[in-house]
């Protein structure tokens, strides 16, 4: 299968959220204004799934917001299961991570783009999810993971959605299930 523009290093988590939020009748990997949008839903809203810092989205979000509504999806991993495999693909073990994410994690991602929530027409949505993280013990990963490299993150379930629509809403969260 040929890979499209922005999918080369995309995790399963990113891909699943991109397709889910683009929805039936939406499109994915669309080039607009010199940037590639993760998706555009049937209502014409730009969809961007961001699993890391928001710094790289600063220019892109402003350009998209000038053309229409923008929704940035930020997955917050509430529960993570870790599966470690050897280089031959045999699973060595599976465990539940003791780290649990919360909606407050968004502020760590916003450090490098503090003006992002001020963009008119932009909504930041936190997707509270459970994932399985697949690691390969190849000796190339971080010492914290004992040399295991992260190969993929797969979506298990979506619990809640938390919206930040206006700057005033950054002081509290609205939950939707």
The residue range of the domain holding 19 is 12-77+101-129+158-176
pTM: 0.84
Q: Give me the mean pLDDT over the 158-169 stretch.
A: 76
pLDDT (average), residues 153-159: 94
CA angle 43-168-49, nearest 5°?
40
**What's the number of domains the chain is made of?**
1
Residue 124 lies in a domain: yes
């Amino acid at each position: 299968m040929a890979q499209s523009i922005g999918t080369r290093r995309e995790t399963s988590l990113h891909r699943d959220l991109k397709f889910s939020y683009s929805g039936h009748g939406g499109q994915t990997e669309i080039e607009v204004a010199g940037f590639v949008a993760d998706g555009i839903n049937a209502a014409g809203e730009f969809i961007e799934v961001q699993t890391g810092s928001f710094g790289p989205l600063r220019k892109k979000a402003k350009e998209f917001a000038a053309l229409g509504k923008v929704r940035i999806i930020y997955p917050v991993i509430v529960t993570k299961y870790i599966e470690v495999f050897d280089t031959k693909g045999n699973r060595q073990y599976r465990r539940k991570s003791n780290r649990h994410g919360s909606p407050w994690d968004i502020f760590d991602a916003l450090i490098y783009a503090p003006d992002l929530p001020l963009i008119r027409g932009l909504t930041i949505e936190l997707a509270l999810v459970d994932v399985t993280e697949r690691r390969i013990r190849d000796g190339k990963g971080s010492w914290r993971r004992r040399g295991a490299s992260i190969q993929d993150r797969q979506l298990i379930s979506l619990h809640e959605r938390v919206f930040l629509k206006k700057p005033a809403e950054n002081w509290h969260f609205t939950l939707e299930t």
